[in-house]
Amino acid sequence: MNETALRDQMCTLAASLFERGLTHGSTGNISARTEDGGLLVSPTGTSFGRLDPARLSRFDAAGRHIDGDAPTKEMPLHTAFYDTRSTAGAVVHLHSCHSVAWSLMPDANEDDFLPPLTPYAIMLLGRVKLLPFFLPGDPAMGDAVRGLAGKRSAVMLANHGPVVTGKSVEAACNAVEELEATAKLAMLMRGIPARALTPDQVQGLITKFDVEWDT
């Protein structure tokens, strides 16, 4: 995809997330790889509902900011995923309500954040790592992602929001939406003896769809 089309796609998908309440105000950030190995990144302090394709932050392949507005303060999160996952073509970070709510639960599983309620979260996300709370913009968030050595495509920042990478902007957005939808289901089912997928059913999905599943 050429850069003009990529800029438009990033802003269109970000606006869709915003309009459906998956992030709000000036929260959230999004980035994507360009054809020349650089990055396009949403600027700091901007709203997903009002991103301007011409003002996206532009980085070259060496990581130098060469054009556009100043980037999001969460750049360490984005670069950590790009540096540790060769398949990363885009990164999306939201402040989505239900996933944050699920991260507040005292029994939230740090190594497998989402319960196995539907096949699609497993297929699109694999296992999601719950990371501890960090101050917004803290470079330690990037260090925590690097510590996973590229084994997870999605993490949940406790009390903050999900961060998901995908091969494309569309794939990353689809996956982060699935994360939020599954967290919503988990909250709706909390305290109810719901019939989750069995370990055999989960393994069947992993095998059939070649899911990246860090154990």
Half-sphere exposure of residue 175, counting CA atoms within 13 Å on the CB side?
A: 28
What does the block give as tokens for 114?
């989402």
74 is catalytic: yes
Burial-class residue 110 by CB neighbours within 10 Å (0-12, 13-18, 19+).
Answer: exposed
Q: Are strands 154-157 and 129-131 parallel, antiparallel or unpaired?
A: parallel
Query: Is there a catalytic annotation at residue 3?
Result: no
Phi, psi of 85 (to 5 degrees): -125, 110
Nearest to 34 by CA among 13, 9, 71: 9
Q: What whole-number distance in Å separates Cα of residue 5 and Cα of residue 151? A: 30
Query: Which of 110, 120, 178, 212 does the annotation list as catalytic?
Result: 120
Q: Would you put residue 165 in left (φ > 0), alpha (ψ -120 to 50) or beta?
A: beta
Residue with tokens 């913009």: 137
| Catalytically annotated residue among 35, 74, 170, 212 | 74
Helix (H) or strand (E) holding 29: strand 29-33
How far are the Cα atoms of 58, 100, 174, 208 from residue 95, in angstroms, in the given order? 23, 7, 15, 32
Which residues are identified as catalytic? 74, 120
